[in-house]
Amino acid sequence: MKYRIDFAYNGKNFYGYAKQVGQPTVQETVERALSIIFDEDITIRASGRTDKGVHAIGQVATFVSEKEKDLGKLKKSLNSLLGDDIYILSIEIVPDDFDARFSAKKKRYFYEIIIGDRNPFENDFAIFEKNINFDKIVEICGVFVGKHCFKNFCSKEEDEDNFVREIYEITPKIFNERELKITFVGNGFMRYQIRKIVGTILEYQKGKITKEEILNYLNKEERDIISYTAEPQGLYLDKVFY
């Protein structure tokens, strides 16, 4: 049978989601706990990977086992083994053809940006900008909305879809005069794609790059990856839609 788990994690102490030899990762931590509970080797398949330092509020993964467990007890047992940085939100049985990655219709991420002085209590959960020009941020966000080839806004070396992704919306909002939240909704995002877009947005509103230059990076046929990349700790995987 196939189990679906929805879970959240603080990415601060992990070297990203995907397993890496000799490094603590979200995937390895969850798989180890499941393997103890089920007394067999368990491999999970997630909706996608997150980088080192990136957080998740609504990550989704599946795993397969012939052993049937009480879902309430399974959730409790998992959370008791996972420690403070990962929390299982829900567990359910899903059809065999459900795929955490390929069954997804869209994903929502957001970036937390604190306007003003750096606060040590927020260092691991946001990035900081002394000042922002909100009108310029709103203006340039629209450039990235729609279906584009993002080969110059990601670090992925090859892509079966020729680096084409569709972003349905990018919505910047300010809360409490000091918190800028930029929300992204799209059919999928490649490694560093959102981080490079946010880095470019922030440099644009400072006057470090022009709109024409950004459009040139989007329209270039040759590979010429933009250098701007926002720090990871402000990025959150918010929700996966199926």
Averaged over 6-35, what is the pLDDT?
Answer: 96
* Amino acid residing at 130: K
| Structure confidence at residue 68 (pLDDT) | 95
In this predicted model, what pLDDT tens digit does every residue of 62-81 receive, in sequence order? 999 999 999 999 999 999 99
Averaged over 16-27, what is the pLDDT?
Answer: 95
The CA distance from 85 to 71, in Å, is 21
Whether the pLDDT of residue 114 is over 90: the answer is yes
| Structure confidence at residue 221 (pLDDT) | 87
Are 62 and 2 spatial neighbours (Cβ–Cβ below 8 Å)? yes
In this predicted model, what pLDDT tens digit does every residue of 191-235 receive, in sequence order? 999 999 999 999 999 999 999 999 999 988 899 999 999 999 999
pLDDT classification of 24: cutoffs 50, 70, 90? very high
The CA distance from 235 to 181, in Å, is 10
Q: What pairs with residue 207 in β-bridges?
A: none
Are 176 and 195 spatial neighbours (Cβ–Cβ below 8 Å)? no
Higher-pLDDT residue of 84 and 221 is 84
Averaged over 134-160, what is the pLDDT?
Answer: 95
| Structure confidence at residue 159 (pLDDT) | 86
Q: What percent of the chain has pLDDT over 70?
A: 100
| Structure confidence at residue 14 (pLDDT) | 96
pLDDT classification of 154: cutoffs 50, 70, 90? very high
Q: Give the tokens for residue 211.
A: 């709109």
Are 45 and 63 spatial neighbours (Cβ–Cβ below 8 Å)? yes
Whether the pLDDT of residue 129 is over 90: the answer is yes
In this predicted model, what pLDDT tens digit does every residue of 92-112 receive, in sequence order? 999 999 999 999 999 999 999
| Structure confidence at residue 109 (pLDDT) | 98
**Residue 238 known to be catalytic:** no
Mean of per-residue pLDDT scores for the chain = 96
Q: Give CA separation, 211 vs 20, 108, 145, 149, 220, in Å.
A: 38, 25, 14, 17, 14
Q: What is the DSSP string of 43-66?
A: --EES----TT-EEEEEEEEEE-S
Averaged over 24-32, what is the pLDDT?
Answer: 97
- Rounded to 5 degrees, φ, ψ at 151 are -65, -25
The CA distance from 190 to 44, in Å, is 20
Whether the pLDDT of residue 119 is over 90: the answer is no
Q: Which of 39, 51, 117, 135 is catalytic?
A: 51
Q: What percent of the chain has pLDDT over 90?
A: 93
The CA distance from 13 to 6, in Å, is 20
| Structure confidence at residue 219 (pLDDT) | 87
| Structure confidence at residue 118 (pLDDT) | 87
Domains of the chain, first to last:
2-94 (3.30.70.580), 106-241 (3.30.70.660)
| Structure confidence at residue 58 (pLDDT) | 97
Q: Give the tokens for residue 77.
A: 């047992």
